[in-house]
Homo-oligomer: A and B are copies of this chain.
Amino acid sequence: MSITTPDGFVAAGVAAGIKASGALDLALLATDDGRPVPTAATFTQNLACAAPVQVSREHMAANGGRATAVVVSSGNANAATGDRGRADAVAMCRLAADGLGVAEDQVLVCSTGLIGIPLPMAPIEAGIPRLVAARAGGPDAGADAARGILTTDSGRKEVLVTYPTFTVAGMAKGAGMLAPNMATMLAFLTTDAAVEPGPLADLLRSAVADSFNSMTVDGCTSTNDTVVLMASGRAGLSDPNVVATAVTEACADLAGQMAADAEGSSRIFQVQVVGARSDGEAHRAARKVADSLLVKCSINGADPYWGRVASELGSAGVEFIMDRLTIAYGGTTVCRGGIEVAHDHAAVADHMAGPLVSIECGLGLADGTGVVMGVELGYGYIDENRTTS
């Protein structure tokens, strides 16, 4: 499987020399006939967004939701690089567009890596023509592209979702808590379903909310996060609701691979909130718990101190009535009606020592539900992030 499995796409990955290691550091995803197809993109909400995000946003606004290609560099984020950074991002698009013989605004651009350092343009100017020339269908080209977008990831992250009438494929980078200097999340999805730009944008937004936006490493918002979905239409018209389900499934799978990539050095936990006034409030409350330093430390220590969870829910900015609160760890209720209840301490201890801790919170107000995945806070996070050198 690869990003080129759905009919209509080619890909490539080359080592241009941005990374000192010599690893692949340029990637291309393009339509196989050089014609634009319906394309949707979501970008980081950070106002300090990187130059490639600014340029891709402009291109999406100009191209009417139809693009031909995405070019990606890894090893340098091209963020906090000012006018020069914007010119460099435009140059990346132009180099790819020239090679493909298409208009500049039909090419989107992404970068990931360190912030504040100008992009090394000499290797990129030499590399992009090679990248364009190398484009091909098939799993090898797709695998090269999936490798070319990585930074600290332990390996490629790819997904294929097959439905009777169409397929969705994806590739992503993002390695949980490891080295958040490079914690940008990039994901690229292709489908051969035929969906118009408007519905495509709607279904991508919804899929991202239910997958990538329901994971939190440290509450920080990257300058470069981007998700792109291209629809070739080769498989013919499909019900956008069915495509939405498949795209959400693909995104959730990639998000799970990101979480799993953090597991080597970090424990993951899931915060589920039910009974909130709305799904939005449930999600906000779950995120407040998942981002809490005290809760993250508790997970590191396998400590079932539920008072911390209650305190975070109470300060999440959502409706909350302490006397209605229920908290369970791995299905064992420890708090009901806002106070501790007799429970099986050994069962809770067993659960908290396991690989995935589940914290289930009931607010007892209405029907809103939300789930957010979080990552423990241990020495490893500090070791990785105290210096960039």
A contact residues vs B (CB 8 Å cutoff)? 45-49, 79-82, 84-85, 114-117, 180-181, 218-223, 292-294, 297-298, 300-303, 305-308, 310-315, 320-323, 325, 335, 337-340, 377-379, 381-382, 385-389
- Among B48, B116, B315, the residue within 8 A (CB) of A315 is B48
Is A386 a contact partner of B300 (Cβ separation < 8 A)? yes
Given A114-B307, A293-B218, A303-B387, does the pair A313, B82 have CB atoms closer than 8 Å?
no
Is B220 a contact partner of A294 (Cβ separation < 8 A)? yes
Given A80-B339, A387-B303, does the pair A48, B297 have CB atoms closer than 8 Å?
no
| Closest residue of B by beta carbon distance from A382 | B297
Residues in B neighbouring A388, C-beta threshold 8 A: 303, 305
- Taking the closest CB of chain B, its distance from the CB of A344, in whole angstroms, is 17
Is A320 a contact partner of B48 (Cβ separation < 8 A)? yes
Q: How far is the CA of A382 from the CA of B266 in the complex (A)?
A: 14
- Among B82, B294, B339, the residue within 8 A (CB) of A385 is B294
User: Can you name 6 extra interface pairs (CB under 8 A) apart from A48-B325, A305-B388?
Assistant: A80-B306, A115-B310, A116-B307, A223-B307, A297-B385, A377-B382
Is B298 a contact partner of A223 (Cβ separation < 8 A)? no
Residues in B neighbouring A322, C-beta threshold 8 A: 47-49, 80, 82
Residues in B neighbouring A338, C-beta threshold 8 A: 48, 80, 82
Is A47 a contact partner of B220 (Cβ separation < 8 A)? no
Is B382 a contact partner of A300 (Cβ separation < 8 A)? yes
| Closest residue of B by beta carbon distance from A386 | B301
Q: How far is the CA of A140 from the CA of B294 in the complex (A)?
A: 37
- Taking the closest CB of chain B, its distance from the CB of A351, in whole angstroms, is 16
- Taking the closest CB of chain B, its distance from the CB of A223, in whole angstroms, is 5
Residues in B neighbouring A292, C-beta threshold 8 A: 219-220
Is B293 a contact partner of A381 (Cβ separation < 8 A)? yes
Given A45-B315, A220-B294, A314-B223, does the pair A306, B116 have CB atoms closer than 8 Å?
yes
Q: How far is the CA of A323 from the CA of B382 in the complex (A)?
A: 30
- Among B218, B312, B377, the residue within 8 A (CB) of A294 is B218
Is A220 a contact partner of B46 (Cβ separation < 8 A)? no
Q: How far is the CA of A385 from the CA of B308 in the complex (A)?
A: 11
Given A303-B387, A305-B181, does the pair A220, B312 have CB atoms closer than 8 Å?
yes
- Among B80, B293, B379, B386, the residue within 8 A (CB) of A298 is B386
- Taking the closest CB of chain B, its distance from the CB of A42, in whole angstroms, is 15
Q: How far is the CA of A82 from the CA of B387 in the complex (A)?
A: 45
Is A220 a contact partner of B81 (Cβ separation < 8 A)? no
Residues in B neighbouring A219, C-beta threshold 8 A: 292-293
Is A313 a contact partner of B377 (Cβ separation < 8 A)? no
- Taking the closest CB of chain B, its distance from the CB of A376, in whole angstroms, is 9
- Among B81, B220, B387, the residue within 8 A (CB) of A339 is B81
Residues in B neighbouring A306, C-beta threshold 8 A: 80, 116
- Taking the closest CB of chain B, its distance from the CB of A178, in whole angstroms, is 13
Q: How far is the CA of A79 from the CA of B335 in the complex (A)?
A: 13
